[in-house]
Amino acid sequence: MDFKTIKDEILKHPNGEKYLTAAFTHRSYATEHHLDYDNQRLEFLGDAVLELVTSSYLFTRYPKAKEGDLTAIRAAMVREETLAMLARNLKLGGKLLSGKGERELQGHKRNSTLADLFEALLGACHIACGYEKTCEFLIEILEENIPDPVLSFKQFNPKGELQELTQKHLGLTPQYKVILISGPPHCPCYDVEAVAGKFVAPGHGSSKREAEGKAAQKLRDYIASTLGVE
């Protein structure tokens, strides 16, 4: 699945070009050019479509999975980092209209911005093409990029993996400390530490969650290596 395929389908709708333009208009661009639209409303719609489609997909694919397991796997599939990865693979970021300041800060490469853009595109697709076609597109994109959702859940859930490891082998739950918040208010960067007893590892990211995830992954690998466990 590529963006051109989705774009061509959306443009078949009488207002398709309007929906696409809105989907790729960042609020900074709308403010700078005094527009009465941006992609936030479409993002809201796309978020709902995404949750419904992934829920139905996982319910069908894993008929014996428990509700809690399905919820955890879905959370990994729709998390910011995953959606940003899908947006990058579709090469959406370079098409985003953003304000001068946002462009200078390379905002179109930020995970949060790309995740919002992906959801906005789903919203535009839903309005122009309907639920069934949007579902078809999304499932194809997911299967191309996330062939094994369970494995992806483990890979994209470093905090859960760390907690499982520390509770099993150390008898404690890891803690996270914010060490530093830097950068401008609209684009902060976070430095955190993941701590489990005497074990400590740092993490850096454009959001607290991203920084904690990176710290958790480093700490898990460090503890596993030190203790000689998987």
**Positions marked active-site:** 47, 119
CA distance 3 to 7: 6
CA distance 209 to 113: 15
- CA–chain centroid gap for 154, Å, is 15
Q: Residue 158 corresponds to which amino acid? A: P
Nearest alpha carbon to residue 28 among 16, 39, 20, 19: 39
CA distance 221 to 201: 10
**Consecutive H or E run containing 95:** none
Contact assessment for residue 219 and residue 197, using Cβ atoms and an 8 Å cutoff: no
Provide the β-strand partners of residue 25: 97
CA distance 130 to 228: 52
Using DSSP's 3-state secondary structure scheme, residue 38 falls into coil
